[in-house]
Structure formats: C-alpha cells, structure tokens
C-alpha cells in the first residue's frame, strides 16, 4: 500500500470562493507476477474544477500498475472509494453519477481503460459509493494513465455523513483502492465427492457434490439420493445432517457474477480503516486489547500497535490476523463491500471445473508448506525458496525473513501473493481458478454460513461506509448481515451468529483438513473472538438487491420497523430497525 499526500487550494472557475483539500491516496498493492496485477501506484494527485453550483470537485491523479490482465474469462480491477475528513470526523465520500465512464470522470490518457461506478439502490434513492477501474478489452501488461478523474459529490457526502461542507470548508480526501477480481456468472460444483469433512452432497446415500446453476431458491432435503442434502460438522447451533430448510433466492450462492478481493485484508488496509475511526470506535475495533493479541508488540507476526491516536504497524504488506467477525464486518461496511458466503468461496476457488476429491484452491490435492524466505528482512517483495511451496500451514517455523527479530516473527501469516512468480502456474502460485490468492491456508476466512437459520437469512446489500455511532459504536451497521441483533440492530453487528470459517490457516495441518476447498469443519462455527488464525476478505455483487425505502411506513424485509420517518430516538431508527429503547406505541 502506498500513500501520497498533497495540499492545495482548489481553483475556482466561476465563483471567487475557494476550498482547500488535502488528498491522500492509498492503494493495496502486492504480488509480482506476469499473470496478476501488481505495483499499483498513484501519482500527481490534485483536486480540480470545483463547481459550487453542483457541489462537486474532481479528484485527479496518474494511475499505473504492472501485469494487468483481461482475458475471455475474467479480469482484475481496482475498487476505489473516497473518504472525506471534515474537522476530526471522517465520512464516506459519494461520487456524483453512476454508470460506465459517467460525466465528469475520465480514464485519462490511456483509453484502453474503463471506469464503472455501480449503483446501490435504497428505495427510490441511488447511491454511488465507489468506482471500478479496469481494462475494457483483452490484454495484459503494464497500464499507465495520466489525469484519471473521479467526481466527488460533497453535498451528498455531507448529508449522508452528518457533517457540514460549505464553500470555505477545509476537508481531507482519502482515496482507498483495493485490488479485486471479477468472478463471472457460471455454474459450479460445491462439495468434493464426500472427501472432506461435512462436504455438501446430493443425498445421504450419495457422494456427488451440489451443482449450482442459478441464484434461485434451494430446497435442502433429507433425501437419500438426487437432492440437496446438508451434512453437518456438529458445531453448536448448526443444522443437523439431513435437516430440511430453504436457502432463499436473495442469499448469494456464487452462481451470479460478483467481484472478490484478490487478497486477504492486509495490515495496511486495516490501518487505513482503523485510523479514520473516532477514538470510541477505535476502542471497539482494537485488536491489540486483551480480547485480541493483548500486546502492542509483535505477536504471531501481527505488527499492529495502538494505545491512542493513530495505530501503526511495520509490515504493511502482511495479511492481518486477529480479526473477529465484527472486525471484518466493520471493515467491509466501511469499504462499501459485503461479506462473502461459503458457497461463493467455493466458486472463487474451483470455478466451473468438475470437483476433485480433497482438492485445494489451486485445483489438485497436492500441497507444500513454505518454509524458507528468499531474503531478510521481509520488505514486501519476499518469496519462498522452498521447492513447490504453495501454502502457509502446519504451524511452520519460518527461516530467513524476519526470523532474526525473535520468536514471534517466525509463525503466522505472510504477505498475500507470496507464491506467485513470473513462471508460476496456478498450482505453484496457490491461486484459485479466477486468480484470487490464498484461498487455502495463511488465515482462516470468515464467511457467511448456510449451516444455521441466521446464516441463510443473510441479506447481501453492500456496506455504505457508515459505521454505528450510537451506543456500541464502531460496528458495521447493515441489517440483514450476520451478527446484527434483530431488536437492537441499529447498534450494528455485535455478534457472530450466522458466520463461520473456511480455507484453513497457518496453524492447521496442510493435508487432510481445513485447507481443502470443500472442507466445512468450521463453516458454521460461531465465534466472536479475535484469533491469531483469523482474517478475511470481502466481495461486491454486480447486481445487488434493492434496499427497502426507510420511512415509507411499509415494512419490507429485512426492515424490522418503519414508522413513516427516519428520526433516531423514536423507537425506529434511521435504518428502519427497532431501536434499543422500547418502540413507541403504534410503531410497525
């Protein structure tokens, strides 16, 4: 991740008033490969063309990255969101318009690129929470483009964020970019011919995997053959084997197209998120407290330190661990993404290929743990020299790298994309079918389960960049996400019911266990703890569901109330959730 800062007085073309904006550009970049995008950078940041009539300003910058790709199957992209600081308060920055290359945006000098600003619909209101930048036609190699432009709508930014921005307001704009991979609509198999623990299969007497060829409702039955059959791992609260239940059409099954983070969240992304929070929210999300790593020193390779002010870390490119479900949900809400389901994770790993017994994310059942780093210290460019290494697992004690710094540096997660080289294959790079990295090993990924009622009740709208600000603050605030209390949903995601783990981790056996793509040992395990083996990533739907209209006096799922207004403190919150206080008489 790289950061660029520039302070300037915006040029005013019509009126004499001016606004000063400090621009900070932060991009997640890792991975050196001729197959996957890397070395993403932003230079020469400025803000131009402020228009007081439309309350907009242009964010302009030069953009480049190496080894970008687009082929007939899929492509990589950068998901870009804006964060705006007014005084000491950070709020989510809204773009002005949606669509492909909308008015006021520009791909800059490189016309082979395309900008897409997706629309999130809340009732009759359209919101533009970020932008994708990607190649618009088949190609690969280095991308360079000068004067790329995005249009910030600071009127909507102010109204949604509860702040005031006028002509003379000094604001700070932070642009966060996360590398994503487009996952196309495609049928796929979930399950690996009854090889892995609790794998999905078509009947109690069969071993064939589920075949998912639509996003329609799935009726799970207890039949012996020819059905969708649920096999339980026996976690507390999990459906028993043979339980009959329905997975709703709105639950993301992986068939439809979506974008997936190319990498597990890193320390750099976590710091960028954490350091935009207010002090109370930071306390809620602190992973260095007694409930987490319980130290500001390095523990299991996690370098995050925080006591007050801004947190810091010394290994930005390293995958972040010690994330609870609530931590990950808050991060994804802030980034205008959403949690990934366990079915989506199988799709991302396997693609549309036939299931292989006991296979890992790279498509076969062979795995080798990385042991020896290529050099010392770790600088974000390190690789493993271990022959055929493609996973981090087996509680391996590393050599080289940061081993000279002490015992807490030799076991834990590594940087994402570490196995990919200019000559690596899918198997030797440890990549999923579409180019998503580290789906087997490194850290467990927290996912939405199909294994209990709360999980299958998931309503997959995207985060809106706004965390809870009342009572238990600093939480993801999206009703319909697992862990959001039904009657006190306005305080946000405070639990983990409906979530679980997939993919295995650095501290798990390499073979015969949780690293396998279809292993569901912990897919329905509810844990609220911050563990040294847990992290995650997010996704974004291409066609998200429409959010209900809050304040229309119509109770539309997943609303828990709607009293014809969006006023806080009256028993029904501004997100049309029942507030912690008892609802007033007559509230829906």
pLDDT per position as a tens digit, 14-71: 233 333 334 443 333 222 222 333 567 778 877 788 888 899 999 888 888 767 889 9
Assess contact for 395 and 509: CB atoms under 8 A.
no
Contacts of 514 (CB under 8 A, 6+ apart): 197, 444, 501, 502, 503, 504, 505, 508, 521, 522
Which residues 6+ apart lie within 8 Å of 98 measured at CB?
117, 118, 119, 126, 128
64: β partners: 41, 144
> Is the model's pLDDT at 224 over the cut of 50?
yes
In eight-state DSSP terms, residue 489 is G
Q: What is the pLDDT of residue 421?
A: 79
Contacts with 9 (C-beta within 8 Å, 6 or more apart), sequence order = 18, 19, 20
Looking at every residue in the chain, the average pLDDT score rounds to 88
What SS3 state is found at 387? coil
**324-363, pLDDT tens digit by residue?**
999 999 999 999 999 999 999 999 999 999 999 999 999 9
pLDDT band at 551 (very low <50, low <70, confident <90, very high): confident
Query: Between these two residues, 302 and 579, which has the higher pLDDT value?
Result: 302
Q: What is the DSSP letter of 307?
A: S
CA 304 to chain centre: 19
pLDDT band at 558 (very low <50, low <70, confident <90, very high): confident
Residue 558: cis peptide before it, omega within 30 degrees of 0: yes
pLDDT in tens, 33-44: 223 335 677 788
pLDDT-derived band at 145, boundaries 50, 70, 90: confident
Distance CA 588, CA 572 (A): 9
Give the per-residue pLDDT at 351.
Answer: 98
Q: What is the pLDDT of residue 367?
A: 98
Query: DSSP E strands: which ranges in 234-292?
Result: 245-247, 258-261
Supply the pLDDT for residue 583: 36
Sort 159 into a burial class: Cβ within 10 Å, 0-12 / 13-18 / 19+: middle
**Cross-strand bridge partners of residue 399:** 372
What average pLDDT does the segment 134-154 reach? 91
Quote the pLDDT of residue 8: 31
Highest mean pLDDT among 50-64, 69-83, 468-482, 521-535: 521-535
pLDDT at 389: 97
């Amino acid at each position: 991740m790289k950061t660029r800062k520039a302070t300037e007085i915006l040029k005013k073309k019509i009126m004499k008033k001016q606004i000063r904006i400090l621009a900070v550009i932060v991009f997640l970049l890792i991975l050196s490969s001729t197959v996957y995008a890397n070395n993403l950078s932003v230079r020469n940041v400025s803000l131009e063309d402020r228009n007081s009539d439309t309350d907009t300003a242009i964010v302009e910058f030069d953009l480049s990255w190496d080894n970008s790709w687009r082929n007939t199957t899929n492509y990589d992209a950068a998901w870009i969101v804006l964060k705006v600081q007014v005084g000491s308060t950070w709020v989510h920055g809204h773009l002005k318009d949606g669509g492909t290359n909308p008015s006021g945006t520009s791909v800059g000098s490189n016309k082979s690129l395309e900008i897409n600003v997706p629309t999130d619909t809340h009732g009759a209101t359209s919101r533009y929470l970020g932008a994708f930048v990607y190649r618009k036609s088949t190609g690969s190699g280095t991308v360079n483009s000068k004067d790329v432009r995005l249009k910030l709508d600071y009127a909507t930014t102010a109204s949604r964020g509860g702040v005031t921005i006028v002509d003379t307001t000094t604001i700070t704009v932070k642009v966060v970019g996360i590398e994503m991979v487009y996952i196309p609509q495609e049928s796929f198999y979930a399950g690996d011919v009854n090889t892995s623990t609790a794998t999905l299969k078509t009947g109690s007497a069969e071993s064939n995997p589920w075949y998912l060829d639509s996003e329609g409702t799935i009726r799970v039955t207890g039949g012996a053959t020819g059905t969708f059959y649920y096999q339980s791992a026996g976690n507390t609260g999990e459906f028993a084997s043979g339980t009959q239940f329905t997975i709703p059409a709105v639950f993301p099954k992986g068939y439809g197209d979506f974008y997936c983070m190319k990498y597990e969240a890193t320390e750099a992304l976590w710091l960028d998120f954490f350091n935009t929070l207010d002090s109370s929210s930071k306390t809620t999300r602190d992973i260095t407290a007694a409930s987490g790593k319980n130290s500001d020193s390095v523990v299991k390779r996690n370098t995050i330190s925080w006591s007050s002010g801004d947190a810091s870390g010394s290994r930005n490119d390293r995958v972040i661990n010690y994330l609870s479900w609530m931590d990950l949900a808050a991060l994804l809400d802030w980034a205008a993404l959403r949690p990934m389901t366990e079915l989506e994770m199988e799709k991302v790993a396997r693609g549309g290929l036939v299931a292989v017994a006991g296979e890992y994310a790279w498509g076969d059942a062979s795995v080798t743990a990385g042991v020896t780093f290529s050099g010392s210290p770790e600088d974000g460019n390190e690789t493993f020299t271990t022959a055929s290494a493609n996973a981090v697992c087996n509680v391996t004690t590393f050599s080289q790298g940061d081993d000279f710094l002490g015992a807490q540096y030799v076991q834990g997660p590594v940087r994402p994309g570490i196995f990919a080289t200019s000559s690596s294959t899918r198997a030797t790079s440890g990549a999923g079918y579409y180019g998503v990295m580290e789906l087997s090993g490194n850290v467990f990924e927290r996912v939405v389960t199909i294994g209990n009622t709360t999980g299958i009740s998931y309503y997959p709208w995207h985060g809106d960049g706004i965390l809870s600000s009342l009572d238990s603050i600093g939480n993801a605030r999206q009703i319909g996400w697992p862990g959001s209390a039904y009657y006190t949903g306005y305080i946000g995601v405070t639990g983990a019911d409906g979530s679980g783990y997939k993919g295995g981790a650095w501290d798990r056996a390499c073979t015969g266990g949780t690293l396998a793509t279809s292993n569901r040992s912990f897919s329905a395990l509810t844990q609220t703890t911050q563990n040294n083996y847990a992290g995650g990533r997010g996704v974004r739907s291409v066609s998200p569901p429409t959010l209900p209209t809050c304040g229309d006096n119509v109770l539309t799922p997943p609303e828990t109330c709607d009293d014809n207004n969006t006023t806080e403190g009256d028993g029904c919150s501004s997100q049309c959730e029942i507030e912690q206080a008892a609802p007033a008489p007559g509230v829906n």
